[in-house]
Amino acid sequence: MTPGRRRALGVAGVVLVGVAGTFAWLFQDMTLPQGERIEAIDGVVGVETSGSFAWIVPAGDGVVLVDAGADPDAEALLAELGRQGRDAGDVRAVLLTHAHGDHTGGLRQFPQAEIWIGADDVALLRKERTPIGWIPRMMAPLFDAPVPDNPLEEFADGDTHTVAGLTVKGTAVPGHTLGSMAWQVGDLLFTGDALVAARDGVTVLFAWIADAPERQVPSVRRLVGVEAAMMADGHFGLTPEPADAIDRFLAARQ
């Protein structure tokens, strides 16, 4: 990526996050991103990558990523891996919460990592379809990374798989994208953009960035009673006790 293009992407990202953040602050119960580097639990670290979070999860002698960030050079991710005494070759797998470009941009830096993805987002990742939400559709040309040719594994709703030695349960949470997944790894629930931290708990993102907005709240119902100590999302950060926060979110919508 040329410096000019990189700058354009950065500016677009900042504008998008700024506009969305302002709307969120005014009209929804949203919060602001919690920082550039977030330490969660169990050694998991969140890294802010040009507007979205990617999460580094220790996995045996390597790591698993939850999403790969917006930055095609994955600079912040590689810097954090370096801080941990690791490099790109230590990334065994990437669990994609969904296939929007601001979560898949860094994939090309980890060509050996197997990608795990919800079955209904494979076409989006392969650019065989465009996003339906008008903002992601408008932004899609900016995220012009080539389709990754990593080994690809589809994750079906409710399945549990061993990924690089980690036990991972995937729950389909369609709405933000058709194939959005929530990943549970140990005590952490990774929700991407399907459910995010709010000022007083959790909320869903705007209808106009969603593939199927009417499916967002029903998908949150699929996470009721989740046994996780912490939720980690794709743009804001951590939410403690997600099961309680989900109950409050749903109670307010009855």
Span near Zn ion by CB under 5 A; candidates 3-11, 68-76, 94-102, 119-127: 94-102
Q: Which residue is nearest to Zn ion (CB)?
A: 100
| CB-based contacts of 214, cutoff 8 Å, min separation 6 | 175
Q: Total number of residues binding Zn ion (CB under 5 A)?
A: 2
Q: How far is the CB of 225 from Zn ion (least distance, A)?
A: 25
Shortest reach from residue 177's CB to Zn ion, in Å: 7
Compute CA 171 distance to the chain's CA centroid, rounded to the nearest angstrom. 14
Rounded Cα distance between 238 and 34, Å, is 8
Alpha helix (H) residue ranges in 1-45: 3-27
Whichever of 92 and 100 has its CB closer to Zn ion, that residue is: 100
CB nearer to Zn ion: give 131 or 201. 131
Helix (H) or strand (E) holding 56: strand 52-59
Q: Is 11 left (phi over 0), alpha (psi -120 to 50) or beta?
A: alpha
Nearer to Zn ion, 64 or 139 (CB): 139
As measured in angstroms, the least distance from the Cβ of 205 to Zn ion is 7
Range in contact with Zn ion (rule: CB under 5 A) among 78-86, 97-105, 111-119, 242-250: 97-105
Do residues 96 and 125 lie in contact, with contact meaning Cβ atoms separated by under 8 Å?
Answer: yes
193 binds Zn ion (CB under 5 A): yes
Query: CB pairs under 8 A, 24+ apart, for 154-162?
Result: 154/116, 154/117, 154/118, 154/119, 154/122, 155/116, 155/117, 155/118, 155/119, 155/181, 156/119, 157/118, 161/116
Question: Should residue 80 be labelled a site residue for Zn ion when binding is judged by CB under 5 A?
Answer: no
Specify the amino acid at residue 37.
Answer: R
Length, in residues, of the chain: 254
Q: Using the rule CB under 5 A, is 100 a contact of Zn ion?
A: yes
Q: How far is the CB of 196 from Zn ion (least distance, A)?
A: 10
Shortest CB 125 distance to Zn ion, Å = 12
Could you tell me which of 35, 121, 213 has the C-alpha nearest to residue 205? 213
The contact pattern for Zn ion, residues 39-78, with x = CB under 5 A and - = no contact, is ----------------------------------------
Query: Within positions 155 to 174, which residues make up the interface with Zn ion, using CB under 5 A?
Result: none
Provide the 8-state DSSP code for 63: E
Pick the closer one to Zn ion by CB: 55 or 81.
55
Contact segment (CB under 5 A) with Zn ion among 39-47, 99-107, 180-188, 219-227 equals 99-107
Work out whether strand 114-118 and strand 91-95 pair parallel, antiparallel, or are unpaired: parallel
Q: Give the range of 15-23, 61-69, 81-89, 186-194 binding Zn ion by CB under 5 A.
A: 186-194
Question: Based on CB atoms, which residue is closest to Zn ion, 17 or 81?
Answer: 17
Residues of this chain that interact with Zn ion (CB under 5 A) are 100, 193
